[in-house]
Structure formats: structure tokens, C-alpha cells
Amino acid sequence: MLFENRSRAESFGNVARLYDRARPTYPPELVDWLLTDRPQRVLDIGCGTGIAGALFAARGCEVTGVEVDARMAAVARTKGLDVEVAGFEKWDDRGRRFELAISGQAWHWIEPRAGAAKAAAVLSDRGRIACFWNLGDPPAQLRERLDLIYDRLGPKGEERSVVLSTSGGRGEDTAAALNESGLFEPAELRRFGWSRTYSTDEWLELISTHSDHQALGEQRLGALRDAVGAELDELGGSFEYPYETVLVTAQVCSASHG
């Protein structure tokens, strides 16, 4: 379970500013859908550098972030977000309640049972949890070349990050865990397709922010970056990367509030 690998879970602060610059945003259609019920108070669980939270703040929401890494939280605060440093499962909510709890690219770092219980506790009546991830897969020609490089130099097997894996099942697993908690109405999955063009430099920055790549160590990561960069340059120096943002969302049960 990824949430048990704390060295990976808490590695992002080492590259906090690079993370903020390189990681993709989320499609406007996702934000539009989650604002249908007009929530005002939004809790951003595992807010990182505030990439998701800032989108909701820009729409007029009051956003409170919870982030385990102080270095990531510091970057999020530069965007005007109110961020508290804590692991979400043990975070002191001080009796505050929220209409919407979001978790962008972070819920897999939360212990499922404790996370579901905490989220249900801090949501107001009929409040909603929304966990989402940007998933994707490089174009086939590039994927074939990258697979050869990663077989030699990259993270292995199931440890590969989402930049080379569609991470099949992540949404389904999260929905199942929320359903099993008994604290939420049946979870719903939605998918939002979009794409982004990456230059060689932008792609190398992106992969450098992923925890499995960070775990390779400086020397091996450098060799991987050099090999990937050479392949991308040979293919023209840029490519279109198709994303699918997977959303798992559910309303809290009224019964869970007693």
C-alpha cells in the first residue's frame, strides 16, 4: 500500500518549487462539476503546493489546506491559501465543517479507513468528498522507446509512477473503500479527458517530481533523465500527452452525523 511508504509519501517537499512548476493543473470541467452545489467552505486534503486548491479559491471558495510537508505548505501559502501542517488522519479540525473536501493527486497517501472516517466527520450534512487524479499514457511510439529505457534505468513493475502507467484501478479502489466505510452514499466515478503538449525540458521536470523517480537517487535519476531526454529530442523535442482526470466523489450519509 502506497500510504504505508512514508519515505515516498513525504519526499515531495525536497522538490517543492519544481513540483509546483512542473505538475499539471486540472481541467475546468472538473471544477465546474464540483461547484454545482455551490460549496463555499472547501477542505483540500494533502493540498501539496496548492495546485488544486488555488482553482477553487479563484472561484470564490474559502479553501483550507491540510498538508503533511511544511515545505509544500509554504509554497501553497504564497498563493494566498490557508494551510495547516499535519497528517490528515490526525489533523485537529477544531470543530470546523466543510461543504466540499477535495484531494488532488493525494488520496492514495491517506490510510483508507481512517481517511474516510475523518473526511465524513469534517463534512457538513450532505457534504461531498472528491478525490481525483491526472492519469495518462504517452503516445505508442514514445511509450515503446521509454519502456526500453525504464527497463534498464527506471522504477520497476508496480512501483512505476503514473507518468508511465494509467494506474488502473485507483479510482475503483477508492470508490470501493468509501463504499465499504458505510459513511457515504454510493461513490460515483467520472472522467474528464484533456491533453497537454510537453517539451523535452518540461517532461524531464515532470518525471523528476514523482516519488518513485526521486527514490532512484541522484546518479540513477540523472542517467534516466539523460536517456529520456535524448529520445524525446530525437522524436522532435515535444509531444502531446493525453490526460484523463479520474474523479471519485460521494456525499456523506446523514446517518454518519448521528
- For residue 231, being part of any structural domain is answered with no
- For residue 18, being part of any structural domain is answered with yes
pLDDT at 1: 47
- For residue 96, being part of any structural domain is answered with yes
Report the phi/psi class of residue 135: left, alpha or beta, with left for phi > 0 and alpha for psi in -120 to 50.
beta
Cα-Cα end-to-end distance for the chain = 31
Full domain range(s) for residue 127:
2-136+165-196+243-257
Domain count, the chain: 1
- For residue 209, being part of any structural domain is answered with no
- For residue 143, being part of any structural domain is answered with no
Minimal CA–CA distance to 210: which of 24, 1, 4, 86?
24
- For residue 43, being part of any structural domain is answered with yes
Question: Is beta strand 123-136 parallel, antiparallel or unpaired with respect to 41-45?
Answer: unpaired
- For residue 37, being part of any structural domain is answered with yes
Mean pLDDT, the chain cut into blocks of 10 residues (258 residues total): 48 85 97 97 98 98 97 97 97 98 96 97 97 92 91 72 63 95 97 97 95 88 96 96 96 77
Q: List C-alpha distances in Å: 45 to 29, 41, 143, 156, 189.
A: 20, 13, 32, 29, 19
DSSP 224: H
In this prediction the pTM is 0.91
- For residue 145, being part of any structural domain is answered with no
pLDDT at 246: 96
Here the CATH number for the domain that contains residue 126 is 3.40.50.150
